[in-house]
Amino acid sequence: MTDDRQLTTETSESKTEEVSAIKEPKKKKKLKSFLWNFFFYVIFVGGIVFGLPRFLVWSLGTEYPMAAITSGSMWPVLKEGDLVFIQGVKDISEVKVGDIIVFSNEANNSLTIHRIIAIKEGVITTKGDANRTDDNPISFDKVVGRTLTLMGEKPFRIPHLGSVTVFASKLRTK
């Protein structure tokens, strides 16, 4: 009788040791899998964060390929917090009345996104859709680009994605 108990105990102990031996590699596999996944996602996210803007600069032909809408001047077409993509332009013949352009605004030392309402002798006049008055005329060399449109005349925009930039710019001005 004692021998049977001893045998059972030995068998139980050896099974426990076998299970422990099996669990040990599984833990190592899980850790290894976690580390590889973590490494992959860090590289993937880093590639998007650092690579996407460079790719957009190259493919859209402008050093400012994206812009956040920071005011309501282009409402209802563009809303505060929207993110728009900007296609670079090299010549005044690439823009026309009705296009929404991005230009360097010397009055407030920033970029402005407004619609072209007139082009006369190389001088461009713009106005925000929600504004009552025209902007001061600008020369073409102030134009950074025009908003990217995918289908029709409305600019391609991603709602709310520019909100972080809008929030940060409001904090800076306080």
Q: Does residue 13 carry a pLDDT above 70?
A: no
pLDDT of residue 153: 78
Nearest-angstrom CA–CA distance, 47 and 61: 20
Q: Does residue 27 carry a pLDDT above 80?
A: no
- For residues 153 and 73, membership in a common domain is answered with yes
- For residues 15 and 79, membership in a common domain is answered with no
For 126-145, the pLDDT digits (tens) are: 999 999 999 999 999 999 99
- For residues 77 and 161, membership in a common domain is answered with yes
Query: Using an 8 Å Cβ cutoff, are 88 and 95 in contact?
Result: no
Domain final residue pick, 41, 60, 79: 60
- For residues 49 and 79, membership in a common domain is answered with no
Q: Does residue 159 carry a pLDDT above 60?
A: yes
pLDDT of residue 51: 82
Residue 50 belongs to what domain range? 1-60
- For residues 70 and 45, membership in a common domain is answered with no
Picking from 70, 47, 52, 40, the residue whose alpha carbon sits closest to that of residue 163 is: 70
Q: Does residue 166 carry a pLDDT above 80?
A: no
- For residues 20 and 46, membership in a common domain is answered with yes
Query: Using an 8 Å Cβ cutoff, are 145 and 86 in contact?
Result: yes
- For residues 34 and 119, membership in a common domain is answered with no
- For residues 78 and 140, membership in a common domain is answered with yes
Q: What's the pLDDT band for 11 if we cut at 50, 70, 90?
A: low
Q: Does residue 97 carry a pLDDT above 70?
A: yes
**CATH code for position 142:** 2.10.109.10
